[in-house]
Chain A
Amino acid sequence: MFNIRRYIICLAVAITVLGLIAVRAASAKVVGDTIIFGAALSATGKYSTAGKHTKNGYDLAVERINGMGGVKVGGKYYKIKIKYYDDESTAARGAQLAERLIKQDGTKFMLGPYSSGLTKAIAPVTEKYKIPMVEGNGASRSLFNKGYRYIFAVLSTSDYYLREAINLAAEVAKKSGKSPKSLKVALAMENDPFSQDIRAGVLEDAKRWGMRVVIDDKLPPELNDMAATLTKVKALRPDVLVVSGHSKGATLIIRQVSDMKVNVPMLAITHCEAAAVIKNFGSRADYTLCAAQWAPTLTYEGKWFGTAGDYSKRFKDKYGYVPPYQSAESTAAVLVYVDALERANSFDTEKVRDSIAATDIKTFYGNVKFDKTGKNIAKPMVLRQIVKGKFKVVAPTKWATSKLIHPIPKWNQR
């Protein structure tokens, strides 16, 4: 026993010493022929699945760009590479690793983490050090009303996720002769920055139409059971049930709505793809409306990946599953940098920042054009309805390929 302890102590001391020697200020933004981006990623913790989708999106972009020759700056071609740190799905870690990437590793170009919460934690750091960050997974609109100059988001802000559902419900009501004011709305939102922002958007639109909000539940992140909320839904019979809670929320709601045989005319949720609800629940997931930043069936097109369908195929070939929008928007973030760097023709962070601000490109993910605050104003959210196990785009009407099936048939008729 004594020997084990001595051994362990010697080992510990050796590791500490070696570690202290090894940790030095490492590479800066460009090393040799490679541009190094820094990214916070959730490899562990509650966001690690989405973190994986994000990483796959980033990696696919790197592979494609490098395969196409790289990024051309100052007449020379550079390959790109991404340095990852695990933010452990917590804000404190995220902020720390942003500091580390910027101060110790000399990163000059940051890619965003997964989730609004983490992006909100990292944004002050990148602002502080004046390092541009292009992100594809932090949708909270509160990121864009603080006067930040160095953050740019390719995705639509979270308050837009489920507004369309409310608007759709109002449209349907009007068509059948009812006033939208008579509609009852129920919300079940996870208590985190992302879902709360979605809630804010939904409440705003519901108020605009004069609808009544009968249930407004904030679900704690560890909650694994929505029975209490669904019991209320059964009692109050809302016309629209809106749920947001990342993958867990999506899985829970589909499961419990079908288990408890809750009948709601319209059910709108997020993260259907990430939670694989069609695969897990089959026909029980039918008729659900899913908010999506992007869909492989949309007719967007760009020079690096071709159409949305092409991207989807490339992704599926490499990773074995259809890309959820989290991956697509991560890839798009890298594409923005590629385009901006080429236009800036320099590695100076200020010039690159200004170049990013002037972005106006078409990609497989949608059009990207930033407004003054860094939001992408050229791409809308879409709503898809699951019909017989397939996603059909039903809103906005410009991109819709199918008609909405409303109301959802009652459980005893399915």
Chain B
Amino acid sequence: MLSNLALLYEAPILSVQLIIDGILIGAILALAAYGMALVWGVMNIINIAQGEFVMLGGYVTFFLTAAGVNPLLTIPVAAAALFILGWALYRLVVFRVVDKDMFISILATFGISIILQQLANELFGADIRTAESGLRTLLFADGMVTVTQVKIVGFVGALVLGAGLFLFLKKSRLGQSMRATAQNARAARIMGINTDRVYATTFALNAAICGVAGSLVVMTWLIHPYLGLAYTLRSFMIVIVAGLGNLAGVVFAGTGLGIVENFAGFLLGTEYQAAFVFSLLVVILLVRNFRLTKKRRYLK
């Protein structure tokens, strides 16, 4: 680890690359985290199938680009396709667990994630798939820092989507209904809001956002049916660190996670990268809780 640290000291430009990479990766993670925060906040469900939605979004883009469609155009198509899937899943399964214990919903979405994962494996095969964005790579600092344009698209997209979501929740009727339901579902119902519709829309919207993330993932790296868990766990972490209902926080936490993970991989060696990330999750939770217990409260 020390030699790696020395490397960074000698060549600060490397840190720049790691930070830039981290921010851009984090933006895509933040997308998945938005959706999770939404579903968690409004429906009180932790969606374990989040990563699988990302994966499926990637497959939509993959198949469309393989058929010759302009890669960037596939992003909204993936969003639409996943929206429909999310709506269908809500109507079939999720509506039954919305009002139940959160633990039950965790398990139910876990079951859904397995079904989606294995269906993808059976229907699409476990081949690693990747798609071309048709965009270039930008070079800076004499080739030492590279940024692929598709990652920038992802970053901008995440910000735009985040802003759009924020406005939607604040200004639009449906958005306000969602916030109302999040605050108090019963009261919302009494006020005449069709909470069932709100839930369906929230879940479907979540799936659509994940679909966008998936499109970006397949164009930036690759996808395969077993990709899901990594994204699910990271979206958890981001939401927990940012706190529910804090959209700006999600972006910061997302980019923070991206940067931290990159540095951890560089300094500690890649074999400890994942261990570091999950240990970090544990530590964050413990520290947060500890601070609350001092006030005789606990994380809720």
Chain A interfacial positions (CB closer than 8 Å to B): 44-49, 51-52, 188, 191, 217-220, 222-225, 227-229, 231-232, 234-236, 247-248, 251-252, 255-256, 258-261, 263, 275-276, 280, 412
Which B residues are CB-close (under 8 A) to A260? Answer: 137, 146, 148
5 cross-chain pairs, A with B, having the tightest CB-CB distances, nearest first: A48-B126, A228-B265, A218-B271, A228-B266, A49-B126
A231/B274 in contact, CB under 8 A = no
The yes or no answer to B221 lying at the interface (CB within 8 A) is yes
Among B118, B266, B274, contact of A222 (Cβ-Cβ < 8 Å): B274
Contact with A along B116-141 (1 / 0, CB 8 A): 00100110011110100000010100
15 A-B pairs within 8 Å (CB atoms) are namely: A44-B122, A46-B226, A48-B126, A49-B125, A222-B229, A224-B230, A231-B17, A231-B21, A232-B266, A234-B144, A248-B222, A248-B224, A251-B222, A255-B130, A280-B130
Q: How far is the CA of A218 from the CA of B128 in the complex (A)?
A: 20
User: Chain B contact residues: over half helix, strand or loop, or mixed?
Assistant: helix
A261/B128 in contact, CB under 8 A = no
Which B residues are CB-close (under 8 A) to A49? Answer: 125-128
Least CB distance from A269 to B in Å reads 13
A222/B230 in contact, CB under 8 A = yes
Chain B interfacial positions (CB closer than 8 Å to A): 4, 7, 11, 14, 17-18, 21, 25, 118, 121-122, 125-128, 130, 137, 139, 143-144, 146, 148, 221-222, 224, 226-227, 229-230, 262, 265-266, 269-271, 273-274
A223/B274 in contact, CB under 8 A = yes
B270/A219 in contact, CB under 8 A = yes
Which B residues are CB-close (under 8 A) to A220? Answer: 270-271, 273-274
B270/A218 in contact, CB under 8 A = yes
Q: How far is the CA of A130 from the CA of B55 in the complex (A)?
A: 43
B271/A231 in contact, CB under 8 A = no
B221/A224 in contact, CB under 8 A = yes
Q: How many residue pairs, one in A and one in B, have C-beta atoms under 8 Å apart? A: 107
Q: How far is the CA of A258 from the CA of B130 in the complex (A)?
A: 14
Which B residues are CB-close (under 8 A) to A188? Answer: 270
B128/A232 in contact, CB under 8 A = no
Q: How far is the CA of A191 from the CA of B271 in the complex (A)?
A: 7
Which A residues are CB-close (under 8 A) to B128? Answer: 49, 247-248, 251, 275
Q: How far is the CA of A236 from the CA of B122 in the complex (A)?
A: 42
Least CB distance from A256 to B in Å reads 8
Decide yes or no: A231 and B14 within 8 Å by CB, A251-B222, A259-B148 being known contacts: yes
Chain B residue nearest to A258 (CB atoms) is B137
Decide yes or no: A231 and B18 within 8 Å by CB, A191-B271, A223-B273, A275-B128 being known contacts: yes
Which B residues are CB-close (under 8 A) to A46? Answer: 126, 224, 226
- 10 A-B pairs besides A45-B126, A219-B271, A228-B266 with CB distance below 8 A are A44-B122, A45-B121, A48-B125, A223-B274, A228-B18, A228-B262, A231-B18, A232-B4, A235-B7, A255-B130
Chain A residue nearest to B4 (CB atoms) is A232
Q: How far is the CA of A276 from the CA of B130 in the complex (A)?
A: 11
Chain B residue nearest to A229 (CB atoms) is B270
A231/B118 in contact, CB under 8 A = no
Least CB distance from A14 to B in Å reads 22
B269/A217 in contact, CB under 8 A = yes
Which A residues are CB-close (under 8 A) to B4? Answer: 232
Among A44, A235, A259, A280, contact of B121 (Cβ-Cβ < 8 Å): A44
Chain A residue nearest to B118 (CB atoms) is A44
Least CB distance from B238 to A in Å reads 17
Q: How far is the CA of A218 from the CA of B269 in the complex (A)?
A: 7
- Interface-centre pick from A188, A258, A260 (highest chain B CB count, 10 A): A260
A225/B221 in contact, CB under 8 A = yes
Which A residues are CB-close (under 8 A) to B11? Answer: 235
Which B residues are CB-close (under 8 A) to A218? Answer: 269-271
Chain B residue nearest to A254 (CB atoms) is B130
Q: How far is the CA of A75 from the CA of B284 in the complex (A)?
A: 72
Q: How far is the CA of A219 from the CA of B266 in the complex (A)?
A: 11
Among B7, B130, B224, B229, contact of A232 (Cβ-Cβ < 8 Å): B7
Q: How far is the CA of A219 from the CA of B270 in the complex (A)?
A: 5
Least CB distance from A63 to B in Å reads 21
A252/B222 in contact, CB under 8 A = yes
Q: How far is the CA of A219 from the CA of B137 in the complex (A)?
A: 25
- Interface-centre pick from A48, A231, A234 (highest chain B CB count, 10 A): A231
Which A residues are CB-close (under 8 A) to B121? Answer: 44-45, 48
Q: How far is the CA of A412 from the CA of B265 in the complex (A)?
A: 28
Q: How far is the CA of A259 from the CA of B148 in the complex (A)?
A: 6
Least CB distance from B28 to A in Å reads 11
Chain A residue nearest to B96 (CB atoms) is A1
Which B residues are CB-close (under 8 A) to A224? Answer: 221-222, 227, 230
